[in-house]
Amino acid sequence: VQSRRSALVVGFDPFLEWMPASLARELERECAALHGSAGQDGSGLEGAGQPRPLRQAELLQAAADAVVRWGEGLIEACGPHACAIKLQLACFEQLGGPGWEAARQVARAAQAAGLLVIADAKRGDVASTMQGYGRALFGPVPLPGGVAVAGLECDAATLHPYMGEDSLQALAPWLDAGRGVFVLVHTSNPSAGQLQGQRLADGTSVAERVAELVARWSARWRGRCGYGAVGAVVGATYPEAVRRLRARLPGVWMLLPGVGAQGGRLEDLPPAFDGAGLGAVVAVSRQILGAWRQAPEQDWRQACRQQARELREALEMIRHGR
Amino acid sequence: VQSRRSALVVGFDPFLEWMPASLARELERECAALHGSAGQDGSGLEGAGQPRPLRQAELLQAAADAVVRWGEGLIEACGPHACAIKLQLACFEQLGGPGWEAARQVARAAQAAGLLVIADAKRGDVASTMQGYGRALFGPVPLPGGVAVAGLECDAATLHPYMGEDSLQALAPWLDAGRGVFVLVHTSNPSAGQLQGQRLADGTSVAERVAELVARWSARWRGRCGYGAVGAVVGATYPEAVRRLRARLPGVWMLLPGVGAQGGRLEDLPPAFDGAGLGAVVAVSRQILGAWRQAPEQDWRQACRQQARELREALEMIRHGR
């Protein structure tokens, strides 16, 4: 945030429906060609719209390649205005093995551009399984015979708190080595309060209790700026929660999603930042990814860059209390 | 459960450390050959144990292929004694794109053997993202131009409740079509109680409140046996919780992990089943996967089959109240 002078996290949720028109047309042509050629040899179709396995692999690869082009263009356009990119893993997993490898490629492109990479994975499991997720998301992955391969090599990942600190504890070796996590505290969605808003016997809410746990965990991995490696996800769609939780999250980075399409507003976010303009990063996905729709005659990257620049500038005003 | 006369779910958590010795030796030879050949051409090593990208892809593929052989052997050996297989996605994700495709292959082998496939994914996100996970785990995945490809095509998946019913609601089309989910209610791990055991103002625990939500959700998708498509994960390591939560989960399938290595005992589980021997399935991973260690001179599949047979028979005794 300090060196890049930006608290903006570009959210890359590559739902194919949101793909810029020029990239989507290109992919559509490729899919039609693959699908058509599968039909022409008389053996490619197993029911309406269902290609056979060979074509399936080629179609997934074509879609994954398009997602990589999209991600690389986005990073080139918006990277200079952001501190990090957040990859929505669901969108990559849709595309199977090629999708997972696409996430790896986009992560590498982002890091080459100086961005941190946050895997929006929302994992949370028992310790042994979390070790597997740690390897998958952060790496390396040991293979038999003393060989190791890379994982996704992300810098941080999002985490569910429901199973308690076992889920976090298993990631300790990665936190020791400088990686980070963001634990879900108060999420941005409409039904967030259904469980997170329940009041405990002492009057605190479930989200507030989770915030206390996160603050305690984060203190174990405190960095130079006074903030720890365990952050908190707090939806920008609940500004009152942002304000209240800030007080329960001393030394904890807040990752604030929900600005734009989900209804969160930048002007509600000043309480998330400390006096030095630190303590929070703001993740924006659809508002940046969909910016090209406002100017369809322009290069899509221009529109995304312009949107990212405006968001960054607005956040810099907030960070510096202006 | 009825047609296969088994409440046993074989948990396939393919941590490479647990791989049967014969398969592990084979993989170790392949890794050594790939790694060695990378070294011999003088350009294959970028620091100790870190192969270059080309070798990385080959190593991941070799490991993923070994996992498929392991899974196919396990299904052949244990399938007849089980109703379902539970795939621990963390283990597959460790192996990147090839790992994800390995999960697909193992899922197909399991379904060909008559087993249901539960993706132990523990996802939970906002509605739009959950639609992505639904496509990834259940399929199909629409591509531009009216083409669709398969997802993992699992029959059920595990789900985090922290974000409330938005996470479930987005999966409604798949539940309507006969797929299922198991929502985490009371997990099997040591720190489960840290959040799940918190008492609300009215005296119920967080886990009990989640159970009430799950029971309400499940009633929307009730099947012929009186049980719904939304199940609950309840750790067999907390027998008292199993008993208490059963009463709050009418018409809800319980998925009970934690038997064996985690300390849960079959003899504590009768309260999970109804008078007809339905209402619960028991997931066992390490006790089956590691059975070959007890008889290392035998074919590993024999040992796993024997363990699965014994577990199934013990569960049949419980199901029928004997």
Nearest alpha-carbon partner for B183 in B110, B252, B92, B267:
B252
Instruction: Give the number of A-B residue pairs with CB atoms closer than 8 Å.
Output: 266
B147–A93 CB contact, under 8 Å = no
- For residue B219, what are its two tokens? 């009633």
Residue B58: phi, psi to the nearest 5? Answer: -70, -40
Give the distance from CA A221 to its chain's centroid: 21
β-strands B230-234, B180-186 pairing: parallel
Asked if residue A179 lies in contact with residue A229, where contact means CB atoms within 8 angstroms, the answer is yes
CA distance B276 to chain A (A): 32
Q: Which of A58, A56, A71, A61 is nearest to A15 (CA)?
A: A71
- B145: closest chain A residue by CA: A28
Report the residue from A35, A123, A213 with minimal CB separation from B122: A123
* Of B16, B189, B201, Cβ closest to residue A144: B16
pLDDT band at B297 (very low <50, low <70, confident <90, very high): confident
- How far B141 CA sits from the closest chain A CA (Å)? 7
- Report whether B49 contacts B55 (CB < 8 A): no
Minimal CA separation from A58 to chain B, in Å: 10
pLDDT confidence of residue B54: 63
pLDDT recorded at residue A171: 98
Question: How confident is the model over B105-122, as a mean pLDDT?
Answer: 98
The whole-number average pLDDT for the span A100-106 is 98
Phi, psi of B200 (to 5 degrees): -80, 170
Asked if B15 lies within 8 A of A132 by C-beta distance, the reply is yes
Mean pLDDT of chain A: 94
- Confidence (pLDDT) at B49: 55
Give residue A42's pLDDT band: very low, low, confident or very high (50, 70, 90).
Answer: very low
Please report residues of B whose CB lies closer than 8 A to that of A132.
13, 15, 88, 90-91, 93-94
* A164/B193 touch (CB, cutoff 8 Å), yes or no: yes
- A259 close to A236: Cβ distance less than 8 angstroms: yes
Rounded to whole angstroms, the Cα distance separating B110 from B83 reads 10
B48 burial level (CB within 10 Å; 0-12, 13-18, 19+) = exposed
CB contact under 8 A, B126 and A188: yes
What percentage of chain B exceeds 70 in pLDDT? Answer: 94
User: What is the C-alpha separation between A89 and A95, in angstroms, rounded?
Assistant: 10
A126 vs B contacts (CB less than 8 Å):
187-189, 262
Predicted confidence at residue A45, as pLDDT, reads 42
Say how far apart CA A70 and CA A283 lie, in whole Å: 18
**Contact of B132 with B38, CB cutoff 8 Å:** no
CB contact under 8 A, B143 and A27: yes
Chain B nearest-CA residue for A23: B144
* Interchain pair A196, B162: CB under 8 A: yes
Best probe of the A interface among B95, B128, B255, by most A CBs < 10 A, is B128
The pair of structure tokens assigned to B77 is: 């050996």
Q: Catalytic amino acids of A?
A: 122
Alpha carbon A232 to its chain's center: 13
Nearest C-alpha neighbor of A188 from the set A289, A268, A251, A118: A268
**B192 in reach of chain A (CB within 8 A):** yes
pLDDT at A36 over 90: no
B42 contact partners, CB below 8 Å, separation of at least 6: none
| B156 contacts B179 by C-beta, under 8 angstroms | yes
Residue A45 DSSP label: B
Tokens of A285: 């996905």
> By three-state DSSP, how is residue A69 classified?
helix
Please answer yes or no on whether A132 and B94 come within 8 Å at the CB atom.
yes
In chain B, positions 195-214, which contact chain A (CB-CB < 8 Å)?
195-196, 198-201, 203, 206, 209-210, 213
Cβ–Cβ below 8 Å for A63 and B209 = no
Taking the C-alpha atoms of residue B143 and residue A28, their distance in angstroms, rounded to an integer, is 8
Q: Report which of residues A297 and B136 the model is more confident about.
A: B136
Residue A135 has its nearest CB partner, among B94, B123, B166, at: B94
- What residue spans of chain A are helical by DSSP H? 21-40, 53-78, 89-93, 96-112, 127-137, 166-169, 172-176, 193-196, 206-219, 239-248, 286-289, 300-319
Q: Is B242 on the interface with A (CB under 8 A)?
A: no
Q: What digits encode the pLDDT tens for the residues A188-238?
A: 999 999 999 999 999 999 999 999 999 999 999 999 899 999 999 999 999
Task: Render pLDDT for B23-58 as a digit per residue (tens, 0 to 9).
Answer: 999 999 999 999 876 544 444 444 455 556 569 999
Q: Which residue's structure tokens are 């991941």?
A: B60
Range 154-173 of B in CB contact (< 8 A) with A: 160-166, 169
Q: pLDDT digits over A12-35, tens only?
A: 999 999 999 999 999 999 999 998
Q: Which residue of A has its CA nearest to B104?
A: A96
Provide the token pair at A248: 């329960």
The b-or-e profile of B226-262 (16+ CB within 10 A means b, else e) is: ebbbbbbbbbbbbbebbebbbebbebbbbbbbbbbeb
Q: What is the pLDDT of residues A227-262, one digit of tens each?
A: 999 999 999 999 999 999 999 999 999 999 999 989
Which pair of tokens denotes residue A256?
A: 């604030």
Query: pLDDT tens digit string along B169-198?
Result: 999 999 999 999 999 999 999 999 999 999
- Helices B300-319 and B53-78: crossing angle in degrees, nearest 10, is 50
Q: How many residues are present in chain A?
A: 322
Residue of A nearest to B130 (CA): A90
pLDDT at position A59:
96
Q: Which of A88, A94, A126 sits opposite B189 (nearest CB)?
A: A126
In this prediction, residues B269-280 reach a mean pLDDT of: 97
**CA distances from residue B178 to B153, B155, B168, B228, B244 in whole angstroms, order as listed:** 12, 8, 14, 10, 28
Q: Which of B135, B158, B131, B122 is nearest to B231 (CA)?
A: B158
Q: Quick check: A180 and A188 in contact, CB under 8 A?
A: no
Whether A98 and A64 have beta carbons less than 8 Å apart is answered as yes
| Contact assignment for B147 to A104 by CB distance below 8 Å | no
Task: Specify the residue for token string 């009970």.
Answer: B256
Decide if A68 touches B, using CB distance below 8 A. no
The pLDDT of residue B36: 77
Which of B90, B161, B201 is the closest to A199 by Cβ? B201
State the virtual CA torsion across A212, A216, A218, A222 in degrees, nearest 10: 130
Mean pLDDT of A120-133: 98
Distance from C-alpha of A172 to C-alpha of A174, rounded to nearest angstrom: 5
**Rg value, chain B, Cα:** 21
Tokens representing B41 are 């051409």
Sign of the dihedral defined by the CA atoms of residues A169, B242, B115, A60, in that order: negative
d(CA A76, CA A301): 8
What is the distance between the alpha carbons of residues B3 and A158, in angstroms, rounded to a whole number? 40
- B199 three-state secondary structure: strand
pLDDT tens string B66-96 = 999 999 999 999 999 999 999 999 999 999 9
Report CB contact under 8 Å: B196, A93: no
Residue A46 pLDDT class (50, 70, 90 cuts): very low
Average pLDDT over every residue of B208-214: 98
**Contact with chain A for residue B27, Cβ under 8 A:** yes
> From CA A180, how far away is CA A229, in angstroms rounded?
5
Q: Is the peptide bond before A140 cis (omega within 30 degrees of 0)?
A: yes
Contact of A132 with B15, CB cutoff 8 Å: yes
Whole-angstrom distance, CA of residue B317 vs CA of residue B321: 6
Average pLDDT, chain B: 94
> Closest to A31 (Cβ–Cβ): which among B136, B145, B165?
B145
Q: What number is the average pLDDT over the span B287-313? A: 95
Determine, for residues B191 and A166 on separate chains, whether the beta-carbon distance falls below 8 Å. Answer: yes
Q: Which residue is closest to B18 within chain A, CA to CA?
A: A144
Contact A160 B165 (CB under 8 A): no
How many other CB atoms sit within 10 Å of the CB of residue A234? 32
Q: Which residue of B has its CA nearest to A57?
A: B149
Taking the alpha carbons at both ends of chain A, their separation in whole angstroms is: 17
Looking at the partner chain, which of B90, B144, B201 has a beta carbon nearest the beta carbon of A132?
B90
Among residues B122, B209, B286, B309, which one is catalytic?
Answer: B122
Residue B41: its pLDDT value, please? Answer: 41
Output the pLDDT for position B145. Answer: 85
Coil, helix or strand at residue A95:
coil
